[in-house]
Structure 1
Amino acid sequence: MNNIVLIGFMGVGKGAVARELSKLSGRFAIDGDDMIESLFNKKIAKIFEDEGEETFRAAEKNLAKFLEHNVKG
């Protein structure tokens, strides 16, 4: 089985689609934004405000690399 990765602009429904795919396929859904919020212990908007977009994008990139190497579908 291969992983399914959803990408797109903020607020377009990636999370809702991921949850539905998870139900239909029996796969586990991982929300990258939720993981980053947990890492920083703050919401995305607050990360942007306090740390800047560059820090958030670096966290996204690091998370993507981690998931690519450690999560097998």
Structure 2
Amino acid sequence: MRLPRSRPLRIALGVALCIGGILGFLPVLGFWMIPLGLIVLSVDVAPVRRFRRRLAVRWENRRRRWKGARSDG
């Protein structure tokens, strides 16, 4: 998916996705919109980018641990 070149438009899109995700109990909208909105926001907003990076590192560490435990067994 290509993101808009305009920084304000990207931020507005990310915020709109997060708000739509909060209303995920309604038809059409879904809770899947929250992570997608955070990914879009992480392009321009440093705290969200740091959160995404930490989450990615944790995910990779757990995946490696799980693969290592699985191959040992």
Query: Shorter chain as normaliser: what TM range?
Result: 0.3 to 0.5
Using structure 1 for the length normalisation, give the TM-score.
Answer: 0.33
Using structure 2 for the length normalisation, give the TM-score.
Answer: 0.33
- Report the structure number with the largest CA radius of gyration: 2
User: Which structure dedicates a bigger proportion of its chain to helix?
Assistant: 2
